[in-house]
Structure 1
Amino acid sequence: MFLESLNELDLSYNSLTGEIPNSIGNLRNLSILFLGGNKFSGSIPQEIGLLESLNKLDLSKNVLTGGIPYSIGNLTSLSLLYLHRNHLSSSIPQEIGLLQSLNELHLSGNILTGEIPNSIGNLRNLSILNLLDNKLSGFISQEIGLLESLNELDLSGNIFTGEIPNSIGNLRNLYTLYLESNKLSGTIPLSIWNMTMLTTLGLGQNNLSGYVPSEIGQLKSLESLSLSDNEFTGHLPQEVCHGGVLENLTVANNYFSGSIPKSLKNCTSLHRLRLDGNQLTGNISDDFGIYPHLDYIDLSYNNFYGELSLKWGDYRNITSFKISNNNVSGEIPAELGKVTQLQLIDLTSNHLEGTIPKELGGLKLLYSLTLSNNRLSGVIPSDIKMLSSLKILDLASNSLSGSIPKQLGECSKLLLLNLSDNKFTNSIPQEIGFLRSLQDLDLSCNLLAQEMPWQLGQLQMLETLNVSHNMLSGLIPRTFKDLLSLTVVDISSNKLQGPIPDIKAFHNASFEALRDNMGICGNASGLKPCNLPKGNRTVKRKSNKLVILIALPLLGSLLLVIVVIGALFILRQRARKRKAEPGNIEQDQNLFTILGHDGKLLYENIIAATEEFNSNYCIGEGGYGTVYKAVMPTEQVVAVKKLHQSQTEKLSDFKAFEKEVCVLANIRHRNIVKMYGFCSHAKHSFLVYEFIERGSLRKIITSEEQAIEFDWMKRLNVVKGMAGALSYLHHSCSPPIIHRDITSNNVLLDLEYEARVSDFGTARMLMPDSSNWTSFAGTFGYTAPGA
């Protein structure tokens, strides 16, 4: 290079590829080097340590591999070091402690392992330390407390164990502290409550226990507090909102008990409140105040009682209103219809009475309304048709009566409709057949009569159908043969007769799902075959002769047509093959655009690593594709799901698909398998995931030797990890993602038997036209019991 006098070099956010050249070390006068946001691969050259005048170094958002070079310790003038969002591995070198001028250190989103080096305590000028989303382990070093200039500390998404060091309380200038998604245990050290500058404290998704002391009131600047998914006990401290600026309080899934603190009732600054999954009690009418800025509230799975007061209509900014599984009584206030920003209402499993207020029809943004397992009566208001965004309607297990309103057919986005265990009468309205996106329909345990409308056969997305325990009569409509997506069906305890439809769902149905009818027949367990009437046999023999006379003249013409079509097909295949040559790869969709990979290079690497998807590398197979283990040239191991050809043909809207991959690739939780990206090519299309060492839960529990090693403590930890992952998908993703495919095959275990949920978005990506999967994702053709 001939630029030895160069002082600043900024090549960030281009599409540069290849390796960073060793000759970079010749730029001895360089003070600023920005190469972030490219597609650089390979390792960081040791020669980087020759740039002793360097003040700012940004290599973030590339595909760099290997370890952080020890020569980095020579850059003693560095004030800023950005290496985040690469594939850097190995441990953080002790030499990092030589960078005593360092002000910001960002290493998040890599695969760094080992412990935080003790030398980190030498970085006394550090204001930001971000180690988020790595695989760092061991105890959090006491030396962290020496970094008294720190303003931001993020150690989330690692595998740190042990207690939070007491020395952390020395960080009196800290504004933000994130320790979420680790395996920390013990109690919160009292020294934390002396960090009076804190605005954000995130301790969720650990194994922390004990009480939250009243000293929390000393954090008067606290705006966000997350203690969810731990084992905290006792009461919520009275001083929890003592500073009056708390905006986000999340204490879900702990063992908190007692009543709501008065400071929380008067905490008008609240935007988001999650108290779900505890043992809290109190009168819901009296214990909560007016929160003008509140946009999310979840009080589910507690012991709250009392009635829903009219004041809930004053929360004009709320998008999610969840109070399920409590002891709330009284009527649903009509004033809820004024909360026009509402997207989700969940009042399941309470003691609510009265009718469903028609005013709810004004909630144009509402996509989920679940009021099941209450004591509601009366009819479903016809205003239900105004809920144009509705995807989930669950009114099961109430005392609703009258006819099912035909206006439901105007809720064209419905995915789930559950009206089971009520007192609905008359016939099933034919308008239900207009709900072309419907996947789950449950009308069981009602008083429905007459024949099933043939229009139900138009529900080609339907996966589950339950009309059992009614008084339906007549034949099953012939149109049901078109319900090819159907996997679960139950028509038992009716007055149906005649043949069952010739589709897999009915053939595979258990006898329990078909029993107690007036005489249905067909190819299914416990049913008699459908015999032809005697008269039809004679007609059939005569008709055979007629068929032969008609068929012979047509056969010659048919053969000619087949020859012509075959010739056209061969010519078209040759044209396709020419287009799919590797030299024409630029016509493929943008490969690996999500994480900035060099798509062509990684495609070739994966093909080579799997010997073009040789079965020797196969580690599993599912409905959407076959999974292979691939060891990359960097020695990083990934799992590659090669999609079946039938699935890749559905990717008509690649940009929409790419956005879905981007959303899923950015999901970060210690119990969710990371997606690295997607590759599309004329010959192969595949998804690339983090490789999880022990494989599926099913594999372990079906192996006698491994099942013995997999003791009850490990099993309980797996259940907790799965719950944490699902809670994250349901509550922390916006809009929420519902897996709907939880099986033992989709729960993977790492070397430490930590649960990792996989395949939570595959169906959504591969079926973009099946509706808004973001709010209700799952595998086409299967509804998991855990949904």
Structure 2
Amino acid sequence: MLVKLRVLSIQQSTLTGSIPLEIGNMTELKKLLFTRNYFEGQLPGTISNLMSLVVLDLSENQLGGQIVPELGNSSLLDTVSFTRNNFSGLFPSSICIGGTLRFVDARHNGFTGIHHQTFQNCTTLEHVDFTANNIVADIRGCFGEHLWQLSTIAFSQNQLHGTLLTDGGEVFPCNYTYLSLIDLSNNVLQGGLSKCFWDMPSLEFMDLSNNSFDGVVPFSSRCAETLSYLHLANNHFEGTFPLGLKECKSLVSLDLGSNNFSGSIPSWILDLSRNKLIGPVPDDFTNLTGMNQKDIYFLYNDRYIYQVQIQIIWKNMDYVYGFLIAVMAGIDLSGNSLSQEIPIGLTSLLGLRYLNLSGNHFSGRIPNDIGNLVLVESLNLSENQLSGEIPPSFAGLKSIGTLNLSCNGLWGMIPTGNQLQTLVDPSIYSNNPGLCGFPLEDCANWSTSTQSKTSQAEDREAFWVYCSVAAGFIFGFWLYWGAFMFCSETWRCVFYECVDHVQGKVTIICNSELINKTPYQHHI
């Protein structure tokens, strides 16, 4: 056996079966790298014999079961990665017993909990990621008060509960001064926020979406210069729009959708869908400098790329866009009560990739320069009160893949363009009675059909007029002769007097109308 081996790296191979028990004999092993293989079964208990182990990477295999508690026997252990396996049970409590652990990546497993002692005094810890597990725990019980070096906390898609307030009134994790990324989305957390979040000096990314947080987003006159990504969607926040966010000068992604915000809307937003916003959309988009660029930027450190997702509502369905903390530039103001015209300034945001203004009260025409948005992939202007023709510049939307202009008052010919011709679903333009052209009825046929329908309507009207005249003549004829033949002389006289009276009135009315319609002539 290779008892003197220091590094064992077998990555991206096709190794199968279980990890052999003999691995524990390599007592001088410092790095064990089995990434992307097909190992299965449990991690052998003999791995606790690796007292010199510094890096353990078993990510992307099919390993399962519980991890032996003695895994952390090595006093040198710096990095452990179990990403994308089937591990379960409690995360081992002794993992940081040596006091040197800095990096823990346990994404996409089945861990059900973290022992309360695991990270309590792990003062060297910098990064911890348990995204997509089954952890049921109070968030405050997972960490201690002395994790000064902690920079990443990622627990998205678990069952964390409780609030972010500690028993002493402090707010977790505001006392972690080096924290740059916190993702607690898709849990069952509740309670309010504190303005200390905006004062954290190193914070770059915060996602608290899809929880039960409530109350008013607190105002602060400060905001961390580094804060770039803030996602608070699908909670119960209320009150006026948090104007204090204007101080967050570095924001490139802001998602506040599906809350209970109300009041007017500022001009420096991204996603405010399904709130109660009213009034016009401001036409000043000069602050949205990130959307004026066509390039996509990625944020990562020297050893870790964080996968993040944004949820977009499109035609009453949820679409999840995944990206590596990239600028997926978009504006979603759907499902509010916004009114007046679509601001022309939107057409200057050349970096826009999706725009959703559906379900509002926008009126007037679609901006003529809408074709400037050459990167737009998704555009939804449905369920508004837009009118007029679709601008010819629409043909310039070369990236458009999803379009919805239904339920408006648009008319005229639908513009043609290479990319537009790939959108073959007629429902894109439905409930706009005046539109024609691909993929709807051809405009020539539509015109002929319209003229034919108009002619048919006129013919039907004339037919009923003739029928009414004929019926009136027949009725009058028999009424006149019936009175003459069957009534007494006295009644006949009364009847004829009434007829003469009515005829006189009709003559006077007709003559007066004729005089009024005759052009006025000046006589000398």
**Contact 1:507 1:524 survives alignment (8 Å):** no
What is the aligned counterpart of 2:351 among 419, 425, 437?
437
Task: Kindly report which structure 2 residues correspond to 1:373-412, keeping only aligned pairs within 5 A, or say none.
Answer: 373-382=258-267, 384=268, 393-408=270-285, 411-412=288-289
**Contact 1:129 1:150 survives alignment (8 Å):** yes
What is the aligned counterpart of 2:58 among 173, 179, 186?
179
Shift of the alpha carbon at 1:220?
3.2
What is the aligned counterpart of 1:133 among 12, 31, 38?
12
Q: Structure 1 residues 200, 523: closer, same or farther in 2, change over 3 A? A: closer
**Contact 1:151 1:173 survives alignment (8 Å):** yes
**Contact 1:488 1:505 survives alignment (8 Å):** no
Task: Kindly report which structure 2 residues correspond to 1:84-163, keeping only aligned pairs within 5 A, or say none.
Answer: 122-163=1-42
The reply on whether 1:368 has 2:248 as its aligned counterpart is no
Distance 2:122 2:396 in 1: 62
**Contact 2:121 2:144 survives alignment (8 Å):** no
Distance 1:236 1:505 in 2: 56
Q: Structure 1 residues 338, 409: closer, same or farther in 2, change over 3 A? A: closer
Distance 1:487 1:160 in 2: 41
**Contact 2:105 2:130 survives alignment (8 Å):** yes
**Contact 2:71 2:94 survives alignment (8 Å):** no
Distance 1:353 1:270 in 2: 31
State the match for 1:725 in structure 2. Answer: none
State the match for 1:499 in structure 2. Answer: 413
Distance 2:221 2:83 in 1: 31
State the match for 2:131 in structure 1. Answer: 252
Shift of the alpha carbon at 1:231?
0.8
Give the stretch that moved more between structures: 413-422 or 445-454: 413-422
**Contact 2:8 2:33 survives alignment (8 Å):** yes
**Contact 2:115 2:142 survives alignment (8 Å):** no
**Contact 1:413 1:438 survives alignment (8 Å):** no
Shift of the alpha carbon at 1:314?
2.7
Q: Structure 1 residues 409, 456: closer, same or farther in 2, change over 3 A? A: farther
Distance 1:177 1:322 in 2: 29
What is the aligned counterpart of 1:531 among 439, 447, 459?
447
The reply on whether 1:288 has 2:178 as its aligned counterpart is no
Distance 1:174 1:129 in 2: 11
**Contact 2:361 2:384 survives alignment (8 Å):** yes
Shift of the alpha carbon at 1:324?
1.1
State the match for 1:305 in structure 2. Answer: 190
Counterpart code for 2:157: G
- More helix per residue: 1
Task: Kindly report which structure 2 residues correspond to 1:589-738, keeping only aligned pairs within 5 A, or say none.
Answer: none
What is the aligned counterpart of 1:274 among 154, 160, 177?
154
Counterpart code for 1:375: N
Q: Deviations over 1:243-266 (max 9, x none)?
A: 322211111110001202446151
Please give the secondary structure, in 1, of the residue aligned with 2:139.
Answer: coil
Runs of 5+ unmatched residues, structure 2: 292-328, 452-524
Distance 1:231 1:123 in 2: 33
Distance 2:414 2:23 in 1: 69
Counterpart code for 1:424: L
Task: Kindly report which structure 2 residues correspond to 1:203-602, keeping only aligned pairs within 5 A, or say none.
Answer: 203-216=82-95, 218-262=97-141, 264-266=143-145, 267-286=147-166, 288-289=172-173, 290-335=175-220, 337-382=222-267, 384=268, 393-408=270-285, 411-414=288-291, 415-503=329-417, 504-505=419-420, 508-525=423-440, 529-531=445-447
State the match for 1:169 in structure 2. Answer: 48
Distance 1:243 1:265 in 2: 8
Q: What's the C-alpha RMSD, in Å, of the aligned pairs? A: 2.6
TM-score by length of 2: 0.72
Distance 1:447 1:527 in 2: 30
TM-score by length of 1: 0.49
Counterpart code for 2:214: S
Distance 2:201 2:415 in 1: 49
**Contact 1:312 1:335 survives alignment (8 Å):** no
Runs of 5+ unmatched residues, structure 1: 1-121, 386-392, 536-787
Q: Deviations over 1:162-194 (max 9, x none)?
A: 211111100112122221121111110233143
Please give the secondary structure, in 1, of the residue aligned with 2:410.
Answer: strand
Q: Which has the larger radius of gyration?
A: 2
**Contact 1:257 1:279 survives alignment (8 Å):** yes
Distance 1:531 1:209 in 2: 68
Please give the secondary structure, in 1, of the residue aligned with 2:39.
Answer: strand
Please give the secondary structure, in 1, of the residue aligned with 2:387.
Answer: strand
Q: Deviations over 1:221-271 (max 9, x none)?
A: 322222211011135534323332221111111000120244615133311
Shift of the alpha carbon at 1:425?
0.9
Shift of the alpha carbon at 1:199?
2.3
